[in-house]
Chain A
Amino acid sequence: MANEEVFDDDFYQEDFSTASEFEAFISRLGDIFETYEVVDEEALSSNELSLCEWTEETEDIMFNDFNLSVIRYKAKIKPRETESSKAINQVFQDLTSQENDYSLLDMNYLKHDYEVLNAPKSPNIHPVAVFYGLRDFVVLKSKRKPLMDISQMKLLQSSLSLAINESKCKIPAFIQVLYHEQDVFLGIYDAGEQRLSFDIAHLKTAPPSCKYLSGLLDMFKGKIGVNYINPVMVSVCLTYSLKNFLSATYSSDKKNENDDWDVVDFINVISSLPFGVSADPVNELILYTKWPQVSENVVFDSQTYSDFNPINAQKWSIRTRFDYSPVCYLADMLHEYLTLTESPEALSEYYNFLSSKARISEAQNPFSALTDSRIPGFSGMSLLDGSYTIDGPLNEHQLGKMFQYLLPDEDDEKKFAYGDLKDEPFNPQKIKSAIPDSLVHRLSILLANIYTSYSGRRGVAQFWAEFSQKMRERVDKCMRIPGVANGFPDMRSCLLHQKLQMLNICMERRNIREGKLPFAMQLLAQQHEGPSSLGKTDSDDEFFDCDDDRVVDEEEHAHQSPWNPVGRISKLGKMLLIDSDEPLYIPVTQDPVPKTEDELEDDAEMLLNVTDSGLRAQLMSASLLSDMESFKAANPIGKLEDFIRWYSPRDWIEEDTDERDPFGRKGHLSDRMMIPGNTWQTVWQTAKPVPARRQKRLFDDTKEAEKVLHFLESQTLGSIGQLTVAPLFHTSLIKIQKESENVKDFIPNYKEMEDKLKQNCCTLSREKWNTSKGMSKKKWEMVINDTSEMELSINQARSILKKLYPDKTDFNDDDKKLLNSLMKCYDTELGEGAKNDIGVRVMYMFNLARATQNEQRVEDHSWTLPDPIEKQFTLRLSGNTVNQGMGGPQFLRAILSSNEFRLCGAFSQNTTFTYST
C-alpha cells in the first residue's frame, strides 16, 4: 500500500497548480496534441495504407482510475515522384476517397498473413485506418480494463473535445470503448467550421433494415438531416471464398518413407534430396466483386431484388491465403540431419574391428615427414583379408545400389559415372564444400537419406564403415577415387574432400614410385584417345618422383663417382657454372609435400611452439637440403653461388659492368647470403650430392594414406555429420535452384532470398565446427529458415499455377505481374472482371466445387457464385447542400459478414449516433 501512496503524492504534486484532476487531464492531453506536427501530403493510391509502414508514438496518461495510452498512428507515405495537388483537408480527402475502400477488406486476413509473411515490418494497421481510410490519427486506449460505462465514456469524450479545442489538434482523435477485441471507437475531428464525429456500432447480426442498400440509404440520409445537391455515392463489394480446390489441390510427391526400401526406384530415391510440402500451401482463394462508385439513383438493392449481381460487377479481383503450417520436406530433412552432428558415438562402438587400427597413427610430429623418413611398417595389418563383417540395417542389395551411385567405376554399367568435374572460376562467395555432384556431394545426400528416412544412426555407422573400408581397399589396389578434384588438397574445399584428394595423391605417388603410369596416363591408355582434361593432375609434369630406397643398378654405378652428374631436368637458360664452362642444370627435385588443412594447422601450431628461430629455420630447411642435394647431384662442380642463381636469383647480384658475362657468371652473392654461418651456407655444407630419387622421401605416401584412412575410421557419428553438413547444404541450394527454375520469376524477392542463403552457407561452411553450446548447429539451423522459406515459396507458386494456369507453361508480363501480386497475398485486380481468363477459371472452380458437393456435373451455362462471405457498402456525400452552402463530408460504411455486423459512421454535424452493444 505504501507504494500507492507515494504514487498518489507524486501525482498530486505534479498537478498542484491546476484546479482539478479533470482540468489537469485536459491540459496534459492538450500538451500532447500540441506536439503533433502535420504536413499535408498527396492523395493515397489504391492499397497504400495496407502496404506502407506505420509509425506509433505513445504517451501515458491517467484519467480517473484509468491508465490510458495516447497513441498516434501515422502512415509513412512515400513522397510522390511527380508533384500532384495537395489536399485542402487531408482528413476529408481520405474519407471521401474510394481508393481507400477495399484495400483492407479482410483485415483479419491481413493481420494473420503479415505476421507470417515476414513483411519488412509488420504494418499492424490500426482498425481505424481500416474502417475510415485515415492516414494519421490519435487513439486513447485504456491500458487494462476496457471502458464500459456510458457516463465514463461521455466524460472522456467531452474532455477530449475540450482538449482538441484548446490545442487545435489537427488530426482526428478517437477513444476506444467496450471490449478491445470489438474494435469500437468514438472519434472527433475539428476542422474549424466543420466538426466530424466518428461512431461505430458493432453487433453480432445485422438488423433487417441494414442488410440491403435501400435500408442503409434511408438510415444515412436520416442521420444527416441536411439535403445535399449531389446524390449519395455508393461503393459495394461482395466477397467470396473458395477452399475446396478438388483436382487443383496441390500436393508434392510423397516423402521417402520406410516402405520405399525395396521399390525398384530405390536408387533414385536414395540419390536425391526430397523437396515439397506436406499439404497445399494455398488454402483459400478469395474473390472480390466490386462496384467502386455508383450513384444511389442508378442501383437498387433490397431483400426482393438486387442490381448487385457479382457476374456483372465492374471489378473483379482475387487474392490468395496461404497456409504456413505444411512441413517442407527439404528443410525438414536438413533440420533432422543436424541432430546427427551431436551424436557422440564412435564408429568403433558399432564396429570394434575399427578400433584396433586406431592406434596406428597416433599423434605424430607433423614434421616427421620432413625430419624422419622411417615408416612404421603397416604390412602386419591384415585389414583387407575380408575377415571383418559390417552388419547393420542396410542389406547387401541396398548397399550395392548406393555404392553404384557413389563409386560408379566399380560398377559394370557405370550408370552414374561422374561428369567432368570442372570447378567454377574464382568466386569469393564459394561454399567450402566440393564440386557439385562430386563424390562428397553424393556421399552427403546418401548419408542424409540414410539418417533421416531409413535407418538412423545405425545406418550411418554401417554405411560410413563400409565406405571407409572401400577406401582402404582402393588404396590397397591403388585405384583412384572417382569424383574427387585433381591436384593438391584444395583449401577452398571441405576437409573431407581434401582428405580424399590426399588419398589420390598418395596412390599417384605410389604408382610412380613403382614405375606404373600415373592415373591420367592410365586413363589415356585405356581410352586410346587424345589428351583429355579429365585426369590431368597438377603434378603431371612432375611425375619424375623420387624412387624408394631400392636403387636402380646403372644409377648405382653412376653414383660411385661423385663427379658424374645425376638427375638433371634441363639447362637453366644459357647459364654456365661459375669458374667453369659447364652449363648450369636444373635438378630433378622432390615433389612438394601436399597437406590437408588440419595437418597445416598442426604444423603451424608446432612451429609456434619452437621458440628458437634458428631451430625453426632448421625445421624449415628439410626441403632446402633436399633441393641442394639434388642440385649438387646434377651439378657436381656447382657452388652455393650457382645454387642461389637458380634458387633465389635476387640474392645474386650481377656485376653491373659494361662487359656483362652472357652466361651470368660475373657477380656476387647478396650481403645477407654472405653472412658467415647463415643457414643457407651451413645447409650447403652438409648437403651431399644425392639425386632426388635416392634421397629420404619428404612425403611418405604410405604413411599419409594410412593417416587418411585412419581419419575416416576414427570418426564419431557426430563428426561424420559435421564433415558433411556444408556439402549437404550446398546440394540443397542446388536443389532449390533447380526446383525454382519455372517459378522464380513470380516469387517476390527470390534473388535476395537466394543470395542470402548462398552467403550464409558460404560463411558458415568456412567456420570451424563449434560444439560448445551447440553453437554451429544453431547457426546452421538459422540457415534452414532461409531454406524453408524458399521451399515454401516455390511450392506456393506452383500451387497457384496449378489452380489458375493449369495448362500454361509460358507466361507473359501480365501473367507474371498477376502471379507476383498473388504471391504477396495482395488483392489483385483482373481486367474485364468476370470475362477475364482467370476470372472464368475462378468461376469454373467455384462451380465445380459446388457441383461436386451436390454430386452433380458442372453445367456449361448458368454459372453462379455461392453466397458471399462478406458484403460491404460504403455511402458518401459531399459538396454543396441544398440551402446551407458547402457541406462537410458524410460517411457510412456497413460491413456484413456471417457472424458480425459493423457500422462505421463519420458525420459532419455535431450529432450523436445511436448505437447499442
Chain B
Amino acid sequence: MLTSTIKLKILVIGESGVGKSSLMLRFTDDKFDPNEQPTIGVDFKVKNLEIDGQRIYLQIWDTAGQERFRTLIPSYYRDATGAILVYDVSKMNSFQKLETWLEELEINTNRNITKMIVGNKIDLQNMRKVDRELGKKFAKQQRALFVETSAANNINVQTAFEELVKKILEDNIFDDQNGVAKSDIRLTGMSDSQNQQPAGGSCTGGYCGR
C-alpha cells in the first residue's frame, strides 16, 4: 500500500454514440444527461477514489468517435494505463468496430495497457443485437475484462471503472514518491531489488567495467 496517491490515466474509446461520455458522466457525477453534447476531439474528467484503502486519482479521457477526429485522438493515448472500449449492445456495427479500436490502441500506446470491454445500453433490452456471450468471448480473446452496463439506468458503471482500476493496480508497479507507474514490465532476469532501487547504494549490480 502506497502512502501517496496513485495517478492513473484511463481512456474511453469506441464508436460515436455508444455512450462513452454518458458512462463517464455517470461515473464521475452520478448523473445521466440525455442532453450531453457530442464530444469534440477529446475531453477529460477527473475523479478521486479509494480502493482497498488506496487513494487513487483518476484522469479519464473521453474521446470522440468520429472518423475525422481520429487522427488527432491517438496522440492522447500516450501514457494511459488503462482503456475502456465501449460498444452499444443495440448496434452490431459498434461491436464489430472494436477490432479497429484495439489495433489503434496497440499502435499508439507504449505499455501493455489494461483493457476492459464494455457493452453499454443494456436497458434497451428489446433492441439488443449483440449477445452477452459474444462480447464475453471477444473480451477473453483480447485478454480484456468484460462487463455490460447501462449509463441511463446506472447498471454496473461504478463496478466497471473500479474493476479496471483494481486490475491496473495488479498489473503495474507504482512508485511511492509520485504515484506514477514505474515501468511497463520489470526488466526480465533482474531481481526485484535491482528493479525497485536501481539508484540505491554504490553497487549497481551491473556492468563492472570488464
The contact of A778 among B106, B184, B199, by CB within 8 Å, is B199
B36: shortest Cβ distance to chain A, in Å? 6
Stretch of A199-207, A414-422, A763-771, A897-905 with 4 or more beta carbons under 8 angstroms from chain B: A763-771
Q: Is the CB of A766 within 8 A of B205?
A: no
Task: For chain A, residues 843 to 872, give those with C-beta under 8 angstroms from any C-beta of chain B.
Answer: none
User: A675–B185 Cα gap in the complex (Å)?
Assistant: 46
* Stretch of A83-91, A619-627, A834-842 lying at the B interface: A619-627
Residues of A within 8 A of B189 (CB): 756, 760, 786
Assembly CA distance A627 to B41 (angstroms): 13
Residues of B near A620 (CB, < 8 A) are 40-43
Does residue B15 face the partner (Cβ distance < 8 Å to A)? yes
Report yes or no: A670 in contact with B17, Cβ–Cβ below 8 A.
yes
Q: Number of A residues contacting the other chain (C-beta, 8 Å)?
A: 66
Chain A residues contacting B65 (CB-CB under 8 Å) are: 650
Residues of B within 8 A of A672 (CB): 34-38
- C-alpha gap A651/B39 in the complex (Å): 12
B residues in contact with A650, CB < 8 Å: 15-17, 65
Q: A595-B75, A617-B43 are in contact. Are A324 and B206 (CB under 8 A)?
A: no
Separation of A772 and B189 alpha carbons in the complex (Å): 24
The reply to whether B210 and A788 contact each other, CB–CB distance below 8 Å, is yes
Question: What separation, in Å, do the CA atoms of A556 and B112 have in the docked complex?
Answer: 52
**B107 contacts A785, CB within 8 Å?**
no
A196 at the interface (CB under 8 A from B): no
Q: How far does the alpha carbon of A786 sit from the alpha carbon of B44 in the complex, in Å?
A: 42
- Across the interface, do A773 and B107 meet the contact criterion of CB distance under 8 Å? no
A491–B41 touching, CB < 8 Å: no
B183's partner among A491, A592, A767 (CB-CB below 8 A) is A767
> Chain B 149-187 against A: per-residue CB contact (8 Å), 1 yes, 0 no?
000000000000000000000000000000000011101
Known: A756-B189, A784-B206. A623 touches B41 (CB 8 A): yes
Q: Is the CB of B44 within 8 A of A592?
A: no
> B68 to A607, Cβ gap below 8 A?
no
B51 lies within 8 A of chain A by Cβ: no
A286 within 8 A of B: no
A592 close to B71 (CB less than 8 A)? yes
Which residues from 100 to 136 on chain B have a C-beta closer than 8 Å to any C-beta of chain A?
A: 106-108, 110-112
Instruction: Report whether A673 and B184 are in contact in the complex, using a CB–CB cutoff of 8 Å.
Output: no
**Cα–Cα distance between A497 and B178 once the two chains are bound (Å):** 30
- 1/0 per residue A614-646: CB within 8 Å of B? 001100110110010000000000000000000
Main secondary structure of the interface of B (DSSP, over half): loop
Contact A782–B207 (Cβ < 8 Å):
yes
Knowing A620-B41, A648-B38, the reply to whether A775 touches B16 (Cβ < 8 A) is: no
Chain B's closest residue to A328 (CB) is B210
Contacts of A121 in B (CB 8 A): none
Of all chain A residues, the one with the shortest Cβ separation from B21 is A672
- Considering the complex, give the chain A residue whose CB is closest to the CB of B76: A604
Given contacts A324-B210, A678-B37, A760-B188, contact A613 B199 (CB under 8 A): no
At the interface, yes or no: B1 with Cβ under 8 Å from chain A?
no
Contact B106 A428 (CB under 8 A): yes
Known: A592-B71, A766-B111, A786-B189. A778 touches B40 (CB 8 A): no
Shortest CB distance A164–B (Å) = 40
Q: Complex formed: what's the CA distance from A604 to B78 in Å? A: 10
Knowing A592-B71, A627-B68, A781-B206, say if A763 contacts B34 (CB, 8 Å): no
Known: A672-B37, A763-B187. A597 touches B207 (CB 8 A): no
- Which residues of the partner chain A approach B66 to less than 8 Å between Cβ atoms? 647-648
How many angstroms from the CA of A655 to the CA of B36 in the assembled complex? 22
How distant is B164 from chain A, measured CB to nearest CB, in Å? 20
A491-B78, A650-B17 known; A774 vs B209 contact (CB < 8 Å): no
A-B pairs, top 3 by smallest CB distance, nearest first, are A620-B41, A592-B71, A773-B199
Can you offer 26 A-B residue contacts whose CB atoms are under 8 A? Answer: A327-B210, A426-B107, A488-B71, A589-B68, A592-B71, A592-B72, A600-B75, A600-B76, A603-B76, A623-B41, A678-B38, A755-B188, A756-B188, A760-B189, A763-B183, A763-B184, A766-B184, A772-B199, A778-B198, A779-B198, A782-B187, A782-B194, A784-B207, A785-B206, A785-B207, A786-B189
Given contacts A678-B37, A764-B187, A778-B199, could you give 16 more A-B pairs where the C-beta distance is less than 8 Å? A331-B207, A491-B74, A593-B71, A593-B72, A597-B75, A597-B78, A600-B76, A603-B76, A608-B44, A647-B66, A651-B16, A671-B34, A678-B38, A756-B188, A763-B184, A782-B206
